[in-house]
Amino acid sequence: MTGPQRRAQILDVTRRIVVEQGYHAVAFERVAAECGVTRTVLYQQFDTLPELLVALIDREVERAFAGFRQAVARPVPPDEDPFTAGLAGILEAVDAAPATWRMLMLPAEGGPPELHQRLARARAVTRAHLHKLTGHQDDPDLSIRVLHALADELVRLRLTDPDAHPVDRLLSQSRRIARACLAPMPTHD
Domains in the chain, CATH or no CATH each: 3-182 (1.10.357.10)
Does residue 12 register a pLDDT over 70? yes
Does residue 189 register a pLDDT over 60? no
Confidence of residue 87 (pLDDT cuts 50, 70, 90): very high
Q: What is the pLDDT of residue 134?
A: 85
Picking from 5, 24, 26, the residue whose alpha carbon sits closest to that of residue 15 is 26
Picking from 61, 90, 75, the residue whose alpha carbon sits closest to that of residue 167 is 90
What angle is formed at CA 128 by the lines to CA 144 and CA 120, rounded to 5 degrees? 90
For residue 76, what is the enclosing H or E element? none
Does residue 135 register a pLDDT over 80? no
Confidence of residue 139 (pLDDT cuts 50, 70, 90): confident
22 alpha carbon, distance to own chain's centre: 17
For residue 45, what is the enclosing H or E element? helix 39-45
Query: Residues 67, 90: contact at Cβ < 8 Å?
Result: yes
Running DSSP on this structure, what letter comes out for residue 150? H
pLDDT-wise least confident of 10-19, 73-82, 87-96 = 73-82
Mean pLDDT of 138-157: 93
Share of the chain above pLDDT 90, in %: 84
Rounded distance, CA 94 to CA 97, Å?
Answer: 5
Query: For the chain, what is the mean pLDDT?
Result: 93
Does residue 51 register a pLDDT over 70? yes
Q: What is the pLDDT of residue 182?
A: 85
Mean pLDDT of 120-142: 88
